[in-house]
Each structure stands twice: as C-alpha cells, then as structure tokens.
Structure 1
C-alpha cells in the first residue's frame, strides 16, 4: 500500500527549513529563515509554539529535552525543550554554522560552518571541544557515527571526509561531490547520514543516486537509484529500524528503499516541485516529516507499510479479516517496526541484521480465537515482555522463523475507513480554546471574547455605528456561541454540573426598557448552534431539536433534526441548517442541508438534501449573501452558491485557494455580495483563521466559475455570461417575495448578457460554427435576435439567417401563447380567490363591502358627469340633424357621401402615429389591411352609432357601417384630428357646411337630468337573479361586491360589449360623443392656425353656437391633439 501524503501547510517564510520529531513522537519541530523554532502538536496544529533564536535559523537538533541551534549570530546555542528557555552558548564560529547534530546519546554535538571547520564538543562541558581542519571550502553537513567512533562531513570542496573522533585524524577522503564556492551556490546540501544503531553504512547523496559506504572498509558497497529521481539528491534519512532509507531531491521527489533488497518502495512527488531540504522519521510510527525551501511542512503516513505482507497459509484470510475488524484501530501506533524491537531483544547480532527480513507490523495474538480451527495453528504473542521464553532465547534461528511466519499472517484492511464526524461550530468564529477569539464576524458586526487571567469579557462592535453603539459584556456565564444582527445580539453557553445550558438575547432594537431575556434549556440538553433572523432566533441542541423563538422571547415552532447539527445560519425569514446525515468514508463528510422559510407562508425549500463538498474536506463557513442567497465554503476553499434557477442546486463560484500564495495560506470568509460581485474575506498567513490583534484587514476576491478553457476568449465570455445569470437570480426571488428591486440593475445585467451573447455569436460565425450560432440565439431577446439576423446576412450566411428568422417567429408565437396562458392563470387565480370569500354577514364583511360600494358610486358619478357634458353637445347639434335627413338615400350632398366613404368599419379609430408614404384619402388609409400596428385594429371595439328612434343598439360583427349622415360627420372629424397632413382637405370641406345653432335651454335641462346606467349596472341587473339563486341571504352591498368580482372576471371583449350597450342607451350618448369629437376638431384647428378658410368657418360657427359650461370645455380640451 503506498504512503499517504498529507496536505502541506505553511511553516516558515521562504528559505531553508529543517524538521525533526521529538523523542516521544508527540511533537513536530521546525526551524526556518524567520529565526523561529516552532513546536507543532500535529500537522493540523493552527497555534504552534514559537521560540525565537535569532534573525535566521540554519539548523537545529533535538535530544534529551535540549534543543541546539545554529543561528545567524555565528553561535551554537542551547535551549530547553519544550519551554524554549535559553540554556547558554556552546561555541562560536567566525561565520554562520550550516549544520548541527547530536550524537546517539545526546552528550555531544557536532557542527560545521562556513569557515571550513568542524567542531565536536560536550553538551555539559563546552570547554571540552575538538576542532577538525582539512576542508578547503564551507562545510555542508556533518553526521555522527552511532558508536561515537567516526564523524563524517561534506564540504563545498567536493569531498566527503570521515574523521576519527578520538585522535581527530582523517580516515578517508571521498571526492564524490561537485565543487562550489558557497553553500548557496551548491546544487545539493548533501545531508549524509550513518545507519542507525549499527552504523554499518554511511549514506551519501551523490548526484541522482545514494552511495552506501561500509563502515569497516570505507568502500562503496552499493548504490541506490531510481528513474523517478531526475535532479540531484539533497538529503537522506534512515528509519529507526535501519532497514529503510528515504531520500529527497532538489526537484521535490521523495523515494524510499529497502536497503537489504535495494527495492524502491515509495515514490512521492512534491505538489509544486519545491526542493526537499528536511527529512525526519517518526521514532515509533511509519511517518516521515519533510520540509521544502519555501517554508512548507508536509507529512507522509504508512511509509513502507506494504513491505513483506503476505497472507498466511495456516490461517484463513476471512478469519483474519474478521478479527482485524473486531479490533480495528487498537494499537495502531504500535504497528510500526515492532519486529525490529523483538529482534533486538532476541539478541540477534549485527551481522544478521542485513539479511533479516523487516517486520513492519505487530501481529495480534489470535491463538485463543483460532484454537478450534482445524486449519490453524497456535500463534505466539509478539508483544515484547520483560522475561522472554528461555527456549526462544537459546534458539535464535527458530525464533526468527516464528517471527517471519507471524509477520506474514497479518492482512491489511482494504475497505473504506470511516471518517471522524465534524463537530458543531459557529460560522464566522475562531476555535473555542483560544484565549482571545472571534465569536462571530459577519456583515453586521464583530463579537470578540477575551478569556484570560485578567478579564473574561465579550465586546460587540458594529460596522455601522448608526445601528447601535459598541457593547461590553462580562462573560459570567462563559458563553461560547454568539451571533449578531441589526436587531439583537444572541449568546449561548453549555451546561455545567450546576447550571443548565442558556440562551441569552440582547434585543437592543426593542422600543421598551426590557432589552434582555434568557431561556434555560431542559436538563441534559446543550445548545450547539445558534443564529438570528428577522424577528426570530433559533438554536439547535444535542437532543436533535431545533428550537425557534421570537426576537422578544416567545417560544414558537420546534422541530426534530435528522442528525447532529453541524452549523446553521439565518437571514431575513430564511433559516439554513447543516447536519450529519450519516457516517462518511475515506475522509469525506456526509452532511445534509435543510432550508426553511420562516415568513407568513412557512415552507421547506431544501428537504434534507446532501450537501456537496470537495473530496476529503469539511464545512468551514455557512451563511447568506447580502441579498439573501444561501452559500457556504469548505476546507478546500471552494465557495458554493444556491442556484435557484436550476432546481435549488449548488454551484461553485470561487476557489479561494487559487488566490493563496502559500500552501498553508487560507481565506476566512466574513461576507458575500452578489451586487457588486464581491467575496469579502480575511487572508490568513499559515493558518485557517486570523488573530484578534492586530485587527485583520478585509480583502475582496472576485468570483470565477470553473468553466473549461477559461484562458480562451470563448471560455471567458461563457463564464461571464453564466456568472451574470447566476448573480441576478436573487432579483427574481426578491420580487416574488414582495421586495422592491432596482430595475436598473436588472436591465444593466440583461444588457451585458445580450452583449456577451452577440459577441459569442460573432465569434462562432467567424469560426463557421453555424449550429452553435443557433444554440446561442436561443438565449437572445427579440431585438438582439434581429441584430443577429442582420449580422448573419451581412456575413453571407443566408441559411443561418433563414433559420434565425424561423426561430424568431417561433419565439414570437411562444411569447404570445405564454401571455395568454398567464392571463388565463390570473383569471383562474382570481376565480379561486373570490370563491374563497366568506358570504356570512359579519361586521368585518360589512366593513369590506363599504369601500367597494363607495368606489362604485364614485365611478358612477364620474361617468354621469361626462355623459351630461356630452348630452349638451348633442343638443347643440340637434337642429342641424333635423335639417338633414339621414335616411334619404337620394341626398346629393357631397359632404354626406364623402363622410360615408370615410367611415369604413375599421376607420372608427385610426392609428395616430401612422404616416403614409403618399397622399391617400382617409378612406384608403383607414381601410388598409396591411397595417401591422395594434392601434389600427382598435376600431373593432368602437361603439356603433345608434339611431334616434331605437332605445339601444347591439354590436355586430359586420365590418360595414351604414352611411348615416349625422353620425358620419363627427367620425370624419375624429379621423381628421388624428390623421396626418394628408387627411386635412377632406376635413376642411366637411367643416365648411357645418352650422352649430344654439340649443334650446329646455332641451339642455332635460338632457342634464338623464342619468344613464353603466355597463356594470346593466350586467348586474341581468345577472342579479343568478347571484341571489346561489345565496339568497346576501344584502345589497354584498350583491354589488359579488357582482363586481364576477364582472371583472369576464373577458375584456365581453366587458366592452356591456359598456357599449350602456353607451347606446337612448340618452343620446353616442350622439353626444360624436358632437364632443367635433368640438375637439374645431378647437384643435383653431389652436394650430390652419388655413384661413377653415378658421373663418369655425369662427362663424362659434358665433352662432352658445357656449357650453366651463367645466365641459376644460375636459374636452384635454382630448385635443396638438401638433408641436
């Protein structure tokens, strides 16, 4: 099984970095170019302890609770471990010391410096030191013989020297390296190493290989190499069992060999190819720590664990696997290289070590479980004890055979391993164990917690001080959870032996004097997550309950969660909860999400759907955008947003790790905005969260969807288009929920989207991708599609233009049908809504009916006033109508004949904005069937003139109106009024023959007393019985209200028929309407200064005409069309 590579993390600034394990294996220790030694509890330790030793640290070694360092002050210093207290200076050089090491028992140290010297001295008595001279260049590295007989050193002069410590003589000079002038110009720092325990071999990095020199003969015994290594080897390190050798190269390759078999067991490549400058084996486990020259720290697990593991022929693999599953996880820390411990206790001599097969695992004693198995044999326990079996001690050969057979029994578990479930956390907070921490940081404010010997307090700070001033609280209840909104501050604490878990709310926006309330949870129930919304607060407990309160403290709904809560957040009336859906495997979390709307219409949007996360990651932040869209970020830095337009799915919108400079750098999210598109976060150097002091600065990151070929023009435009689509979805959501949205924002976004579509269309045309052009045209609006058709035509792509034209027609048809369907749905909704009205006579029902009745009365009064004024106009022209017989077919008046010709069926209402290309008569212009304007078709709804002898007339489908002379003249005036210059001659001839006599006063009084009914009143009179048949207990006001509801549900054409029927009542409405239009024509022509002939006729008519009321003139003048 290959080694597992953990993600590297930031350890020190750029420069040479060294690493080692503490003797207990509980700590990782590093030093770097920042002059600090850092003590890490694990690779995930975000708060390591630092010991400052100087401006720069070049090397260090750890043994027996002492740390020896080589710093930039040219001194070899000693510190205590892990306290880091200075313990004196052992020696000094004239220049920097490049490497320092302890001997096997920690009583001596050796150091090599840039002044060509190597020194060996006693730790307890630094005055006893020995200096080794002979190198002609700076010393790169030194290594102690485990038996304290020899010391080896490598230098920039290209040689490796082996010294005898006692008499300070050079035993051998090996010219193996390339020469250079300085350590910084050396291709390799040549970190050589003696084999642990026996010291039988000296491993020397030479080019792309590792040479092994025997201790006794000082000759090259063998060479370890692999094609995976492409650059010079920089450092080597022996395993504690002395069976394996690991090497790191300049190009970031890490390779491990079995020295006995010379087989390459592991090949690992650095993520970014940085130079490996530090390697260290864990003293008890199969772990290797490594560092690079960029200051990053990494860890390899299960190194060389796949060596020599074969299934046993005497114990069935199924039984072994079942047994391993029973005790999975027991004693994992002791599984590494225990065979070597047994071999050492069995007094196996050093000569046999090289031929001894490595034992890489500890076999459990299965003898008691497999005693009844016919195919099994008794397996002795391998746990080393103080008293070994004398027979085993005497017979070393059989002991080794037993060990080998037992080691081959162990089988590895190849199935998926369960992942440790993520613990609950508060979004926007830092770890609880810190003395100074952020309890929450969001778009409203910041809550800090200080818990030290001097103070235990909570500070609340608002970004906008107009919301509230800063608040300082004494944390007497030891609150660990907090949230803040524009209404309140919410705090929560865990339970203790004496006190229950409490939820405390500081409702600072309350208008009364009591601004604080506290709720105790039931016994044994702890609050694990809290959040604030608009008018409500929520808390989730370990009892799998979600409790909701009003912001004033009233207990509201309560629901059960599907699993333990992980995090939750609130915004407005939205509540999002993330919980554990089950057990994850292979490092993946199994989380579920619920999205609830807590408004008046409560509903569940997401019903416990799985929450997408990156591989081997966990949830690190959960919240909402400033516009109310749910979003979250995982530990891999991927920010995802809820895409409401695609069935409430999640889409990644940003990868914060792409903006990080170092591997261990992260961004801590504090807020997200969709307009403008901003991700507000705090950069954290070498950590996942920021410190409280100094106050961290907020950075803004852009969004970028992970589309393919983002470096090309096509990919960039596609990414911009869909990003704009996604980040404008909130406008539709807010408008549906009754919020006012800025239409300019939406229009600008749509404009940009259409521009991008047109650019992509043009690019596809250039690439001769016509089918792709059609796909892009599906997203275009009608104006942009017209532009695309023109572009395709000018590009001589006629087939594409034809297909685009067909698509445009199809879209227009679909749009029309969609509008009709929407109208039908609206009418159906109104019908269902009105069907739900209560018809019981209640006090509230009467109060609702009164405004309806009042509005109806007001409408009737307005219509009556207009009808009275129009009646006056009709009486004013009554004498003129008596002078001409409208039914005389032999009438020779040219005016009457022209009027009849002008009034074709669709000439009643003429398009006021239509201008003909040539001089046409009004009849031709009015009857043109090719007009596409909607205003030209309005004549089909015009009122048909009624004769003076019939009380009412009904609308017919005929498009021919009989040439009734008195009615034709005002219609001709209307046509002339709204027609362009071409229609003026016909109007002038008509006006010359018009005489307006003064109407009798008595006739005007009679007309004013008439109050005709409206279309609704006529409809109500006819349908009153049907309404009462359904409910005979209705009062008059309720009948009117029910009638209005039904009348509004009628089709617009049917309502128009009833209105025209009311206008056709014998009150002379239609005639009055015609006279009113004639008055409008006269006033319009007079105001525009037409020809003198028209002016004289109008003035003459005005002298004979008795003026109507001032109010009627004012209202009629409002309808006059004035050409500016």
Structure 2
C-alpha cells in the first residue's frame, strides 16, 4: 500500500504562502504574494474558491468554522465569511505590515502582531474593544493563544518570549523568557513561534541550537528537547492532534516525524522542493498540509506510515519531566484536583467572559451575578458556605424510637471553610475578597492561574502568576498575600507567603506541612501567619517564615480562623447540642504574649444557622456573619469569661427589603469605619461571581423592633421616632463600649479618646431626643422619662440640666424637679468618689 500520496498545488505566486485549517477540518484557507485568497475543500479535487479582491500581499491567515481573518502587508486585517465568499470586512488597520494572527479558542478575540511595537488584541464582533500589549521593546514576530485562551505568547524579534495574561481587565506580563529562541528579523524564514501542546501545561519552540525544546508552563523549566534532527534553523513545527507525534521542518527543507514519548525520529522524509513556512495537521485524519516560500500548497495524505498509526489512535499525550508520560508530571498531579478532594476537568476559559462581555454587549453593573451555567448555586438547600444542608434528612430532634434505635450516632459537624472564599463555579472561584482587594483563580486543567487585584491600584500593582500547586486558600492584607494548597500525591500541603514589598529585595517564602496533614484555614495579620490543620494543630509563623507557635486546638475538627495584629481567633466543633449538632466554640489569644483571653467559648448562632464568615474589624474587634444574614460583634473579649456576641445588623430587616420586591442577599466582606461592607447577591445567588462585583456598605442597625405599626389604633408606645432614638442610643452605647475596651487595654491616641467622647455625647443626645418624644405622650410617661434621664452619662455635667429644660418646655414640672434631685445625687456621689448606679 502506498505510504502517502503527495499532492502539490500552485496556490499563489512565487513567494511566502501561509495556510490555516478550519477547526472541523473541512476547509483549508491559503494566502500568499498575489492578491488572492484560496479556499480548498478537504478531500476534493475541484478547483478552490478564489477571492481576488485583496489590496496587496497577504502575510497571515487564521480560520474558524464560520469565518477567517487575513492580514495584509498594508497593515489591514479583514474578516471573511465562508457563506458569503465575498469582499472582506476590515477589522482593524495598522500602520505597518501584519506578521501573524492568532485566534482565541472560542473565536471571539484575535491577537495581531505587526511591525509596530504593540500587539493588539481585538474583540471580533465589537472592534471598539482593543487590548494593547506593550511590555516588549521590539516588534513581535509570532503570537499564539494557549489552549484556554487566557495566556498569549508573543515571540519577539529580540530573542525573548513574552507571556501575557489576559484573564483580567488589563493585560499583565506573566513571564519574560530570555535565551530560549533565536533573535530573528520579522521577515526571516526561520521560526520562533510558540506551539502550545494540545494537552496544555507545556509549549514547544524552535531554539537557537536548531533543536525543538518543550518547556513547562508552570515553572518554566525544560521538559525535553528534540535534538540532532536539523542542521539549519527550524522554519515550522506542529503537534499531532493528540500530542503523541511532532513534525518539524527546517530551512534545509528536511521534514522529520518525531515520537514525543521517546524523543526519537520515526521517519525523515525526502527534502521538500522549497522551504516550508506553515504546517498544520488535519484535526481528525492522517493528513499533513503545508505551504512553502514558492506559493505552493502540499497535502500529505496518509502522512504517518502504517507502522506508526497507533500513535494517532492514543488518547491525549502529555509532555512531562523525565520523559515518563505514564506518570503524573509536577504540573499535572491530581489532574486538576481542587480543595484536596474533587477533580475538575479542564474547561474553556473565555477572555470574553472574564471581561464581563456577552455575545453582543458589555454586561451591566446591576446584573453582574446570574446563574448562567445552571450549576444550582441559587438553590435554597445550599448553606452559606456553598454546601448542601441536611434539610433532606429526617429531624433528629425529640425522642423518636426510630432515631434512638439506629445504633451509632454521628453528630452533625460544621465543615471547615476559608473566610472570603467562594466555591467553584464553572472553572473559576474567588480565594479572597476584602477591602484590600480580590484574589481569584482559574482552573486550567493541570494548573491554575491566580490573579491578585487591589481596590486601590495606586497602593500596589496587580499581579498574576501561573499556579502549578493548585492553591485553594488565600489571604490578602496591606503587607502581602498568603496562599495554601492541599497535598497532592506524594507532595505535602504547602503554605506560601508573598510580601508586596520590603526595604530589601522582596523575599517570598514557602513551607511544607508534615505528610498527611492538610490546611483547613489560614489567616494573615500585620504580625503573624496562622494555619489550622486537619490534625488539629494551630501553626503560627512570623511574616518571614519563622515558626513561632504550635499547639493542638481544643475544639476539633477545626472550622476556620481569623487574625488581627497579635491576636488569633480559632473556631472548631465543640460539644453536641440538644439538636444533634456540634456547637461551634472559639478561642481567642494574644500569640505574642502567649495569653488566652477567651478559651473554648461558644459561638452564638441562632438555631439551625451556620457560620458564613469571621473577621476582625479595622478597630480589631472580632465579628461573625451567619447564614441568617446577621452580623454580630464580640464585646469585652479582652476580659476572660466576659465576652458575648452582640448583633449589630440583621440584613433581613433592612429598609430596602421591607417591600418584599427585592430578591437579594449579602456576602460579607468587612467591617470598617462602623459600617458593614458587603456584596449584594441578586436572584437567589449565594456567592459572588465574575465580573468583579461592586462593594456596598450599610450602617449598623441593631435589631430592636419593627419600625412599622400594624394596628393604627394601637398605643404609640414604640413610635417610629422613638425607635429611631432607641436605635441610636443602643448602637452608640455598644460602639463606645468596644472603643472603651480598646482604650483601656492599649496605648490610646488622642483621636481615640476624642472619638469615645463623641460616641458618649451622641448616646446622650439620643436619650434627650427620646425624652422629648416621651414627654409629648403625656403625664403618664413620667416614670419612663425619669428613667431615661437616669441613663444619661453626663460626663460633661450639661446633659441633666438639658433634660430639666426639656421637661420644663413640655410643662412637666414634677419631672423637672425629680431630674434636678438626680443631678444633685450624682454631684454628691462624685464628690464622695463614688458614683451611684444609673437610674438610682
């Protein structure tokens, strides 16, 4: 049987010619020196369709199943529709000749290299959306999207490869690789193009030594090199569709077929008639097609000899270190395992999706969260941590004989979670959300890509990196970013800290946990790194990686942790309550002084609620947010045994939800400047998604009473005005108590002492306003009015006289006398050095 049948066709005038297959393999599009475009039908001997209305010499072509793009030496890039077969539509005009075009895998974005310095990435159906890549200093010869469409490799004429991340609104330079490719003029026949491996995780390039090297994308190290095949520079290379074979050709016209597992030559073909410039495999058939520098198109049918056909029938081959493709590589261990438990296959990551654009227009700011992938995140049976609740199980409350006779009893424990982290949705998730910025990751199959974006980009510059360790937890503050990854195969769990900047050279550090130990939660403060683990240990490190403390947590299994300055709050599952659930208990300590402030105290959650987040405020007070939408603060936490959880806000009682028309919930982010900062989730969503959501803040509103009266005839005991003043008094009382504790336990500043005075004054003002409301209700409110007067702090000595004036204004003379007597009692007590309790 004939090994292959060579078919040469004069497609264009003598000179450089280029081609592109459609992804389905039905058509081949060629361009060249003349002003014609040829469209060949695969497997057909008929004459190709010719479009001869181009303006000049075409220098690049790339095709999808529906359309193709052609670049011209006059700087024009045009779009042609296969169905129309007519004059193309100009996509973009550049000032210098186009050299190469690459399409994102979804066919929505095109990267264009030209003799201009900048590379332009343009959205095909909306040409107003253009990204500019400018970190290189010389023109780019080749561009190539990776298999996910989020990274673009740009081979520069200066001999460097620039890898740009397109997974954020502004392109970021991920890596500059020097010394790998040869410095080539843009018109040179030799190639320096990055050829991404079909399995992802690695890429191949012709190198200066006339070999073809494969490099790992994760750590940018050499995986393997196809050596001693060519005596001149390589002009083109192509992987077989499954990556098991490689074909290379060089300026000396030699064509070589390689075995990518053994790195050996399978067959060397007779030299081609002219130098091959572009080469492509058919996506499903044993056909290799190429064009040369004489304007000819060649089609090699049955290109791979019969004895090697088994290579094409294998599954997708992976290029790995040590040339052992049957074992997992450093970048591909666990094949995309996340959270240390479940595997996720690689999925297409659209640049269009990342930038928040749909098929026609940019997504609006008000509808950025949509359950568009049908993943079920809006279901009612999901708790605040993205986990399925036990609502589908029969109740264990009561004395059911059936329940008692089931034998062994297993309590319902709270699962561990990382504050500020969201579960996977599609192939992406947030690792951290706070007022400093966002940390999010994209699953690329064998590796992840991590992006850190800051709310204030004048504070620090965003950065982006390839993550071969598959980090599943992160913390971000003003000093640095902390990451943790689960154990994989023979590699232990790791913790990685990256400071934003130091007064010396920035020093990242990484530490490994003992084998068999995984990370359950991490926390980062201005002073320490805290890690809770599956073995019950709490590990504390300094910011430069020195182990500082290690102890076993009393409550197990661990749930989460938070940190602020020298303080660490750890939460775990404690004793089983009456409802069959483990009660959450917390321990709060100063790790620097080795002092425990609260030990194994209960986290106060409402019945059936789960903990959704825990964090410290900007003043250093611990806060929790539960699945009922309630925000609570821990007061008097510095005094052992005196701490208690106080509600600051019940989001279900917000005025914006009073009409019942809004279907929304809130994702907690932080407490700062006495306000609750959160993300509004619409349409039943439980977690934020992309594009990056906006932050909203709400004032505290202690849940004391409804502001609406259902019965118009009921006594106005709690009028809206009274409720407002009561709310203000109680809230200011809580805030002043928190600040007073801070001042008493630290070296207070003048600003803090002034703020405390202002809070106490605001509390007294609220009481005076409440006194006015009560005086208006009639003489029968006299006892309550005197009680309100007794609640005044009156540190300035002016509030009780003011209360007397209020009573006199409304004709309450007896009340005025009683308030005067109260003022005298307080004055006498102060002189005696003893102040009477309020109200006596």
TM interval, short-chain normalised:
0.3 to 0.5
TM-score by length of 1: 0.35
Structure number having the greater helix percentage: 1
* Rg comparison, structure with higher value: 1
Higher relative contact order (CA 8 A, sep 6+): 2
Where is the strand percentage greater, Structure 1 or Structure 2?
2
